[in-house]
Structures are given as C-alpha cells and as structure tokens.
Amino acid sequence: MELETEMILHPFSVHLDPVSGIMDDADNHIERYLSKVADIFYDKNAADGMLKENGDRLVYEVYEKKIPQRSGELQFCSSITHPGKIGDEYFMTKGHFHVRRDRAEIYFGIRGSGMILMEKENGEHAEETLSPGSVVYVPGYFAHRSVNTGAEPFIFLAVYPGDSGHDYGAIEVNGFNRIVVLKNGRPEIIEKKNLG
C-alpha cells in the first residue's frame, strides 16, 4: 500500500504562454538546432548553404514536465516550431513513432498554423492542418511530424499516454514518404518518390 501511495502524483498546474509557447516550471527544455537536424530536410545542399551563410538556427523547441512513464499518467508538452524553410521545405520536427505503437496523441493548436504529417509503417498516411483552437487526434501506430507552414511560431500543446515513449529509429533511417513545400505561393504535400 505504501508503494501505491507514493506513485500517486500531487495535482499541479503550469502556465503556457500562448505567444511564446514557454511553459513555466517546465522540467525539460529541448532545443533542436539546424546543425543537429539538417538531415531531416530533403535538400541537403540547401541545409549546408543555410548553415554556412546564416549560421545555426533554432528549428524547434519543446517544453515538458517530468511525468512518470507509466500507463495511467499523461505526458504533456508545448511544442514551438519556428518559421523558416530549407530550400522550399518548411521547418519541421524530426517526427517519431511511439515505442508502444498503439499509444495515441492529441494536439491542441495555440498559435500560428501548420500541418501534422502522419504515416504508418505500412505506408498508410494522413495529413491534418492545425491552427489556434483546432485539435488533431493522432491515433496509435501513426508516426507524427509537425510542420510550420506559416510566418509566425507554430505553437501547440501535445498530450499523450505516460508510457508512450519516443521511437526515432525508423524515421531517422527512412524519413517520411511525404514532405511539405512552398509551391505556387502555398503549402503543398509532395511524395518524395516524385521528386527529381
């Protein structure tokens, strides 16, 4: 019984600034710079060129609370993907599967606008736009990546089961099958296999 009581968290609240995306009292602040995520963009020369000409850039950041990684609890974080492009491809997150593949995730849009790319291991895919006030449901088994298609920071709250875990392995090797680029003045989803 002692152990069970210890496992019960004390209720708490945090403040998530809707303009900056900063979560007060976060336990973790993850910052992903272009130099560390350059490989996720399809135009490697454009990424290299940008690094050489403009130096490093913050592509996205995440503020999260430290919640026990067990079923029953909920992980949550604020996600801020900055505006920018590598060549014609928008700034985006690395993307991941959940270690426990069946675990779902909810995104609640706070600022800016973007697209959530989702892909299953069998190739099935879906894309949803996310903007302030909208909610995207990412079912289990879908890898998910967020893309900032706007001119301001793309900020949302993410909530997912405590024991989901992040699996980057397959994504790091193969990436996603689709990318989001600026074409004819608007975001367009392109199949990577159709790129020249």
Which stretches of the chain bind Zn ion, using CB under 5 A? 105
- Type of residue at 92: M
User: Rule CB under 6 A: which residues touch ligand M6P?
Assistant: 62, 77, 79, 93-96, 105, 158, 166
Q: Which residue is nearest to ligand M6P (CB)?
A: 79
Residue 57 interacting entry, from ligand M6P, Zn ion, none, C-beta within 5 to 8 Å by type? none
- Given ligand M6P, Zn ion, none, residue 103, with its beta carbon under 5 to 8 Å by kind, binds none
- DSSP assignment of 100-126 equals STT--EEEEEEES-EEEEEEETTS-EE
Taking the complex as a whole, the smallest distance from the CB of residue 63 to ligand M6P amounts, in Å, to 9
Binds 93, which of Zn ion, ligand M6P, none (CB < 5 to 8 A, cut-off by type)?
ligand M6P
C-alpha of 6 from chain center: 32
The CB-of-64 to ligand M6P minimum distance in angstroms stands at: 7
Type of residue numbered 12: F
Residue 77 interacting partner from ligand M6P, Zn ion, none (CB closer than 5 to 8 Å by kind)? ligand M6P
**What is d(CA 32, CA 64) in angstroms, rounded to the nearest whole number?**
14
**Least separation, in Å, of the C-beta of 85 and ligand M6P?**
18
Shortest reach from residue 22's CB to ligand M6P, in Å: 14
CA distances from 192 to 4, 46, 124 (A): 49, 16, 15
Q: Give the nearer residue to ligand M6P in terms of CB position, either 62 or 147.
A: 62
Half-sphere exposure of 15 (CA within 13 A, CB side): 4
The dihedrals phi and psi of 85, each to the nearest 5 degrees, come to: -145, 150
Of 61 and 105, nearer to Zn ion (C-beta) is: 105
Considering beta carbons, is residue 90 or 160 the nearer one to Zn ion? 160
Q: In the block, which residue shows the tokens 């996603």?
A: 176
Contact 74, 123 (CB under 8 A): no
